[in-house]
Amino acid sequence: MNITRTYHSYIISLTLAFSVCFSCTSNKKEIKEERSPNIIFILSDDLSWGDLGCYGQEKIKTPNIDRIAYEGIKFTNAYAGSSVCAPSRSSLMQGLHQGHARVRGNSYQSYRESLQEGDYTVAMLLKEAGYKTGLFGKWGLALENQPGIPNKMGFDEFFGYLNQRQAHTYYPQFLYHNQEKVFFPGNQNHYEIENYSKASAYDEEGKVIPNGIKDPSSAVYSFDIINEKALDFVKENKDQPFFLYLANTVPHGPLIVPELGAYKDKDWPIQHKEWAAMVSRMDTEVGKLMNLLESLGLDDDTIIFFASDNGDSSQGYEKRYLDVKEGPTLSEFFNHQSPTRGHKSNEYDGGFHVPAMARWPGHIAPGSESDHIWAFWDFLPTAAELARVSPPAGLDGLSILPTLTSSGVQKQHEYLYWEHNQNQAIRLGEYYAHKVNGSPLELYNLVADPQQQNDISDDNTEMVEKINKMMADAHRPSDVWPSPGESKEAFQKRMEEQNIPKKPNNIGHF
């Protein structure tokens, strides 16, 4: 036997073994470092295009939300799921545009639709991928006696409002923690419509005296406790990937805020102080969340999305003030309108065009700006790619991760589609099409004519024919909402033929 050769073979084998073990350890370390990121989606309610400093606002201070844009990416062609609350959230959760999503309006004939058993949400996908999932704020996709409550739609924890009408009350009688009601006795009778629908007074220190509440010091402002619970969720789940959907209710009216803060002594109408203070209060809470991520060492492992749920939406909240004293509207005062025509509840471009941004240190280049055209239904496939799982088939969305990280090939939508109140709209490259309930199509060049004043349909008959076909292909009939061009009588007949019972009046139910 050659002892020397045997010895050398032993040493080589031992060295290889150590190398393999080291390699395994290194790979495990790499896998740990590359674990799927925490995902946070902050959704503001009725924030207008220009209410943030990063989108040109000069009067309202929003340094923390601006930081998401300045340290990440700001989008100029981001679109909500709809021009009103509930359907926009349905598209966000389901990855489906409004021709396919379950919820396509806030209500129809006093009936609120719910997500149903069998519907699939981004929360379900992420929970299956090993994430802890939490919703804090406004759901708007089910009432307490319907199947689509958050805990049955993929959320491990829920704290907030189910019914969006109840979310109009910032000092509510109660909020839900999962399926239990948490009451706030200090809020007394403010939740009654005769109290919350009227403007409340403010004292000399700029603190609110809410209607129907004798002792404001014992009252609970829902926005504050919702954000407090969201921070608790992050702390409790810091050691594993989590999905936080923070669906804030500000600055949706009726306007009211615990204190006017930096705007107390401004020579502004009270409603302008309230609007600004509500937006800045949200900004402060965003700052607390970002600071918490840093203190827990989670900053680099967390991607934050921020957006508004529909286009310009301050109209209507100021009537109760302007009826008493004339003055500039919120839009005139803050100059926060979308650069394109349209606003909340209609179907022109500005009704869907929203501020949106994302931040993920080390992955999204700071100070980026993108004109990539995307919509809320792209969030689910994006979350799937972040979680390294496959999205379900049949989605309308496309992952925007390549745009976020400036890597890979970004797939492009042929078009974006919306429908609301039987009206339809399509964004097709530089073109924008609008169709009122089966009427002839309006066509605009959105780049040359952002206010959509010059209808060019007569000069583009082939394009009109193409878009009409797209609209027909994108729509799937619903058993809750009439189809575009369908009369009320025809809808009722279709329901009868399909043996679908008449929907109950549940508009005010919890």
CATH of the domain at 59: 3.40.720.10
Instruction: Please indicate, yes or no, whether residues 487 and 362 belong to a single structural domain of this protein.
Output: no
Q: Give how many domains the chain has, as a whole number.
A: 2
User: 20: helix, coil or strand?
Assistant: helix
Instruction: Please indicate, yes or no, whether residues 321 and 393 belong to a single structural domain of this protein.
Output: yes
Residue 248: what residue type? N
Show the tokens assigned to 10: 């032993």
Instruction: Please indicate, yes or no, whether residues 392 and 421 belong to a single structural domain of this protein.
Output: no
pLDDT given at position 8: 39
Whether 14 maps to a domain, the answer reads no
> Residue 433 forms beta bridges with which residues?
426, 443
Task: Using the predicted structure, report yes or no on whether residue 16 has a pLDDT greater than 90.
Answer: no
pLDDT given at position 459: 97
Task: Using the predicted structure, report yes or no on whether residue 14 has a pLDDT greater than 80.
Answer: no
User: 79: helix, coil or strand?
Assistant: strand
pLDDT given at position 43: 98
> Residue 137 forms beta bridges with which residues?
160, 247
The whole-number average pLDDT for the span 120-147 is 98
Whether 484 maps to a domain, the answer reads yes
Instruction: Please indicate, yes or no, whether residues 388 and 469 belong to a single structural domain of this protein.
Output: no
Whether 24 maps to a domain, the answer reads no
Q: What is the crossing angle of helices 85-94 and 379-387, to 10°?
A: 30
The whole-number average pLDDT for the span 277-299 is 98
pLDDT given at position 26: 37
Instruction: Please indicate, yes or no, whether residues 449 and 379 belong to a single structural domain of this protein.
Output: no
User: In whole numbers, what is the pLDDT of the chain averaged over residues?
Assistant: 93
Q: What is the crossing angle of helices 270-295 and 63-70, to 10°?
A: 50
The whole-number average pLDDT for the span 499-507 is 95
Whether 314 maps to a domain, the answer reads yes
pLDDT tens, position by position, 185-241: 999 999 999 999 999 999 999 999 999 999 999 999 999 999 999 999 999 999 999
Instruction: Please indicate, yes or no, whether residues 421 and 449 belong to a single structural domain of this protein.
Output: yes
Task: Using the predicted structure, report yes or no on whether residue 23 has a pLDDT greater than 70.
Answer: no
Whether 351 maps to a domain, the answer reads yes
Q: Range of 437's domain?
A: 416-497
- 46: Cβ contacts below 8 Å, ≥ 6 apart: 251, 252, 253, 308, 309, 310, 313, 314, 344
Boundary-marking domain end, from 405, 432, 464: 405
Show the tokens assigned to 311: 């286009």
DSSP string over 198-230: SPPEE-TTSBEE-TT-S-GGG---HHHHHHHHH
Task: Please say whether the beta carbons of 112 and 507 come within 8 A.
Answer: yes
User: The domain spanning residue 489 has which CATH number?
Assistant: 3.30.1120.10
pLDDT given at position 315: 76
Instruction: Please indicate, yes or no, whether residues 104 and 217 belong to a single structural domain of this protein.
Output: yes
pLDDT given at position 508: 87
Boundary-marking domain end, from 405, 431, 447: 405
pTM reported for the whole predicted model: 0.93
Instruction: Please indicate, yes or no, whether residues 395 and 424 belong to a single structural domain of this protein.
Output: no
Whether 25 maps to a domain, the answer reads no
Instruction: Please indicate, yes or no, whether residues 184 and 233 belong to a single structural domain of this protein.
Output: yes
Whether 271 maps to a domain, the answer reads yes
The whole-number average pLDDT for the span 398-415 is 98
Instruction: Please indicate, yes or no, whether residues 71 and 161 belong to a single structural domain of this protein.
Output: yes
Instruction: Please indicate, yes or no, whether residues 491 and 357 belong to a single structural domain of this protein.
Output: no
The span from the CA of 191 to the CA of 184, in Å, is 11
Whether 26 maps to a domain, the answer reads no
